[in-house]
């Protein structure tokens, strides 16, 4: 897992852990995501409700967005202004 620099974002430890896991699982072109809260919870070994709470906070801060696919499956997206956090997307966008 790549360590990321969140200086200036005022994130809690859990938010940083969730965001790091999320960003490290974004593998395709900028803007694409197939990462869910469940994926993050499994990877970082944290209760799903804690992950959802951290994600809700990251949504309020405008860092991520969550889209309901209409099937009960929700996908997390990194907001455009924060592509710079992704090691590869920062140079592609």
For residue range 28-52, list pLDDT tens digits in order: 889 899 999 999 999 999 999 999 9
In the chain, the domains with their CATH numbers are: 13-87 (1.10.10.10)
CA dihedral sign of residues 1, 93, 52, 72? negative
And the tokens for 88? 């590869």
* pLDDT of 93 strictly over 60: no
Q: Output the pTM of the full model.
A: 0.90
For residue range 49-84, list pLDDT tens digits in order: 999 999 999 999 999 999 988 888 899 999 999 999
Minimal CA–CA distance to 64: which of 22, 6, 7, 14?
22
**18-22, 41-45, 86-90: which range is least confident on average?**
86-90
């Amino acid at each position: 897992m790549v360590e990321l620099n969140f200086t200036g974002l005022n994130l809690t430890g859990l938010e940083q852990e969730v965001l790091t896991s999320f960003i490290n699982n974004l593998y395709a072109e900028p803007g694409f995501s197939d990462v869910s809260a469940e994926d993050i919870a499994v990877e970082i070994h944290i209760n799903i409700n804690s992950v959802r709470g951290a994600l809700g906070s990251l949504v309020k801060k405008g860092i991520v967005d969550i889209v309901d696919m209409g099937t009960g499956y929700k996908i997390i997206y990194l907001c455009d202004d924060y592509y710079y956090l992704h090691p590869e997307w920062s140079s592609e966008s």
